Amino acid sequence: MKVYTTACPRNCYSTCAMKVQVEDGRIRRIEPHSGNLATPGGACLKGLSYVERVHSPDRILHPLRRVPESGAFERISWDEALDAIAEKLVELKADPGPQSILYYSGSGTKGLLKGAGREFWRLYGGCTATYGDLCWPAGLEATRLTLGANKHSAPWDIADARLIVLWGKNAAETNIHQMAVIDQALDAGAKLVVIDPRRTQSAERAELLLQPRPGTDGALALAIAHLLIGSGWIDREYIDKHVHGYEAFAETVADFTPERAAEITDIPAEYIERLAEHFGTIKPVTVSPGFGMQRFTNSGQTMRALLAILAITGNIGRPGAGWVYANLQSHIFEPVLDPIAFYPPEEPDGVVRVSISTARLGPEMLATQDPPLRMAWVERGNPITQNPETNTVLEAFRALDFRVVVEQFLTDTAREADIVLPAKTMFEQSDVIGAYWHAYVQLKQKVIDPPGEVKPETEIYRLLARRLGIAEGDDPMIFPVSDDEVDAYLERALEPFPELSLEQLREGPLPAPGGQDVAFSDLVFPTPSGKIELESAEAEQRWGVARVPTYEEPVESIRAAQAAANDHLLYLLTPNTKNRIHSQFGNLKMIRQFDDAPAAYLHPDDARERGIGDGDWVRVFNERGELELEARLDNGLKRGCVCVTNGWWISEGGNVNFTSAARETDMGHGAAFHENRVEVERLSDAE
C-alpha cells in the first residue's frame, strides 16, 4: 500500500486536498489531508466516488468510432483514430481553412496542462474558439470593476464575522467546508441571513430567510442601501477615504424605498427594513453570494449593488468582513488559470478566432461564416447538456462534418461524436492547480497509470502533431508525456516562485505567494481611482450599463413587456446539487443511490392550480423545448417557481437546458440561462 498526496481539480469551490491509498495499481481509499486548512474534513461524497469513477466498467478505455448506419460505436485502434482525425485536419486546413474547426475546452478540470490544447491549435494554424463562461463572469467583472481584483479573505476568516449573508448560495450543499466555518461563527453568536427563493439546508440555522422573485436581487440591494444611507448606518470616514462615487450612488438609491423594492421583489417591506438594520448595526459583515443570481441579464449590476452595501458600511478589508465570491490569489500562472483571459481579445492574433460566445454557442456556431464551421473538437466539457438552448446546440453540432470528443464516459456530447478518444482521470497525470475559494497552490499528483489504452491529452496532441508534420510537436515543454517530462514542465512553471517547488507540493498544499488572509487589508484597490468604485466609467464604456449600480428588470420576466400574456408561467430554477458537479458524477452507482432520477419541485399552491399531485408525471416546457419528469411538492419553495437541479443527461430525462435561452449577462459575457420561464402541466392532460 502506498499513500499519495493529491487534490481534486474539478470545477468546484472547495478544491479539496486528499490522501489516496493505492495498492496493486488500484485506488483503494481516499482520505482527508489536513495540510489544506480550508478542507480539513476531506472529500465530499463526489470525491469519495472517485474510487468508482476511475475503475467504472462504463469508462471509455479505447478509441471509439460511430457507425454511420446504426449510430452505435465500435472500438478502433489509436492509429485508425488519429489517422482519420489527421486526414480531416489536413483537408480542412486546405479548404475552407483552419478556422473552420471549433475548439471547445470546458472547465471540467483545472490545471496548467490545459494550455497544451490551445498551443496545439495555434501550431496547427488556427481554429475558432469560444469566449466568456457558463459559470460566473458577470460576478467576476462586477467585482473587478468595483474592487479592482477578484480576491477574498481566507475561508476561515468568516468565523470572525458577526453577520453572515448567504445571498443566493446554498453552502450546505455546494460549499460544505464553508458551512462548517459558518457553524463556528454561529456558535460564537453570529447571525445568519439566507436570501434564496428556496428554503435550503443552509437556511436551517438562519435568523432570516428572504425569498425574492428570481432576478430581482439588485432591487433588494438598492433598497437596503437606501435605508442604510437614510438611517445614518454608514461609515462616513471609510467612505471618504476609500470609496469613489458615493454621492452619485446615493443619488441613485434616493428613491429606492423598501416599499418600491417590496413591489418588485415580493419581499415585504418590513423584512427589507430588518435586513438593512442588521447591515447597519452589526459588524463585521461577510456577504457570500452564489453564482445563480449572476446568471441573469441584469446580474452584473446586481452584483455591483451587493458590493456597494459592504463598501458604504466599511465592511471590506477588515477581519470577519468582506465579499466571498471569487478568490483568485492562487491564479499566479497567468493566463492559463485566469478566467478573465477568456474574454474576447481586444486585438485578435489572426490565428485563433475567438468569436463564439459560450453563452450563445448553438446560434453562433450556426451563424459563423468566412469560413463556416465544419468540425468540432471538445475536451473537458459536455456542451450538449450544459450550454443554453440544447436543441440549437444539437442542431449546430449535427450540422458539422466531423466531431471529436475526448471523454471518460459516453456523455450526451460524446454520443454526438464521430470519434471518441478516451480521457485520463485526475489520478493519471500530474498537474499543478489553483482554486477559487482558498489561496492554495496544489499538486494534482499522478498516482496510477492510465488503464486500457487511455492517453493524456498532451500525448494525443503530440501524436497528432507528428502526423501533421508540426516540428514543435515533440517539444516536451509544449506537449509533455512521460512523468519526467511532466515534472520538468511543471518545474519550469514554478521557477518564478521560489516559495513553491514540486518536491514540497508532493507533500501537501502551499499558500500562493503574496496572498492576503484578509483581502484588501492594506486598503489598496487596483482600480483607476485607487478606491472602491461605486461609480465606474469603464462599466459604462465597456458594457453600456450605468456608471453606478442600477436595477433593470430581466428580459425574461413576469413583469417584462412581452410577458403580459404569459403571467401564468413559472420561473424555472436550476440550482446545483451536492450529488453532482453539473453533469459529472451522476452516472455513478455510488451517487445514484442518493439521487437516481430528476424531479420537478413545485409549491403546493402552484401544483394545485395545475391539478398536479405529488408523484405525478409532468411536462415542463416553453417555446424552446421541454422535458418530462416526476413532480414533487415543496412548501419551502417560493410560489411562482419550479425547481429542477441541473446536470441531468438527456438520456436521464432531466436536461433543463432544453428550455433555457442562449443569451448573455449584462457584463462579462456570462450565460443568462437562469432567466427562464416555463409552464408545467400534468402529462395526462398534455396527451
Task: Name the strands in the sheet holding 64-66, side by side, starting at the edge strand that comes first in the sequence.
Answer: 73-75, 64-66, 419-422, 402-407, 375-379, 101-105, 127-131, 352-357
Looking at the structure, tell me whether residues 373 and 474 fall in a common domain. yes
434 half-sphere exposure, CB direction, 13 A CA radius: 26
Domain count, the chain: 3
Q: Which of 543, 576, 599 is the last residue of a domain?
A: 543
Looking at the structure, tell me whether residues 118 and 247 fall in a common domain. no
**In a domain? residue 460:** yes
Looking at the structure, tell me whether residues 459 and 477 fall in a common domain. yes
Output the pLDDT for position 338: 41
String of DSSP letters for 161-179? -SEEEEES--HHHH-HHHH
Three-state secondary-structure class, residue 339: helix
Looking at the structure, tell me whether residues 292 and 361 fall in a common domain. no
User: Look-up: residue for cell 432531466?
Assistant: 654
Looking at the structure, tell me whether residues 176 and 214 fall in a common domain. yes
Looking at the structure, tell me whether residues 489 and 527 fall in a common domain. no
Looking at the structure, tell me whether residues 539 and 613 fall in a common domain. no
Looking at the structure, tell me whether residues 300 and 411 fall in a common domain. no
Q: Name residues of the chain where pLDDT drops below 50.
A: 336-342, 347, 686-687
DSSP state of 671: B
What is the domain-level CATH number for residue 666? 2.40.40.20
**In a domain? residue 399:** yes
Catalogue the long-range contacts made by 563-567 (C-beta closer than 8 Å, 24 or more residues apart). Answer: 563/677, 566/677
Looking at the structure, tell me whether residues 285 and 315 fall in a common domain. yes
No. of helices (H) and no. of strands (E), the chain: 23, 27
φ and ψ of 27, to 5 deg: -75, 125
What is the domain-level CATH number for residue 104? 3.40.50.740
Looking at the structure, tell me whether residues 374 and 489 fall in a common domain. yes
Looking at the structure, tell me whether residues 538 and 573 fall in a common domain. no
User: What's the pLDDT tens digit per position in 362-374?
Assistant: 999 999 999 999 9
Output the pLDDT for position 337: 39
Output the pLDDT for position 248: 98
Q: What's the rounded Cα separation, in Å, for the pair 243 and 548? A: 12
Q: Provide the b/e sequence for 220-245 (b: ≥16 CB within 10 Å).
A: bbbbbbbbbbeeebbbeebbeebbbb
**In a domain? residue 161:** yes
**In a domain? residue 553:** no
**In a domain? residue 388:** yes
Q: What's the rounded Cα separation, in Å, for the pair 682 and 674? A: 23
Compute the radius of gyration of the chain from its Cα atoms. Answer: 25
Are the beta carbons of 583 and 385 closer than 8 angstroms? Answer: yes
Helices (H), 125-167: 137-147
Output the pLDDT for position 341: 42
Q: How far is CA 264 from CA 219, 223, 226, 331, in A?
A: 7, 11, 15, 39
371 lies in which domain range?
Answer: 64-130+355-436+453-496
Output the pLDDT for position 603: 98
Q: What's the rounded Cα separation, in Å, for the pair 100 and 440? A: 39
Three-state secondary-structure class, residue 618: strand
**In a domain? residue 176:** yes
Q: What's the rounded Cα separation, in Å, for the pair 292 and 647? A: 14
23 half-sphere exposure, CB direction, 13 A CA radius: 5
CA 559 to chain centre: 28
User: What's the pLDDT tens digit per position in 588-640?
Assistant: 898 889 888 999 999 999 999 999 999 999 999 999 999 999 999 999 999 99
Looking at the structure, tell me whether residues 537 and 620 fall in a common domain. no
**In a domain? residue 30:** no
**In a domain? residue 619:** yes
